[in-house]
Amino acid sequence: DQQVKQNSPSLSVQEGRISILNCDYTNSMFDYFLWYKKYPAEGPTFLISISSIKDKNEDGRFTVFLNKSAKHLSLHIVPSQPGDSAVYFCAASENAGNMLTFGGGTRLMVKP
Partner 1 sequence: DTGVSQNPRHKITKRGQNVTFRCDPISEHNRLYWYRQTLGQGPEFLTYFQNEAQLEKSRLLSDRFSAERPKGSFSTLEIQRTEQGDSAMYLCATSEFDEQFFGPGTRLTVL
By CB under 8 A, tell whether 42 contacts partner 1: yes
42 or 112: whose CB is closer to partner 1?
42
37 or 84: whose CB is closer to partner 1?
37
Q: Which part of the chain contacts partner 1 (CB under 8 A), choosing from 11-19, 59-67, 69-77, 101-109?
A: 101-109
Q: 71 to each of 5, 58, 98, 108, how far by Cα in Å?
A: 11, 19, 19, 22
43 to 62, contacts with partner 1 by CB under 8 A? 43-46, 49
Burial 77-94 (b: 16+ CB within 10 A, else e): beebeeebbbbbbbbbbe
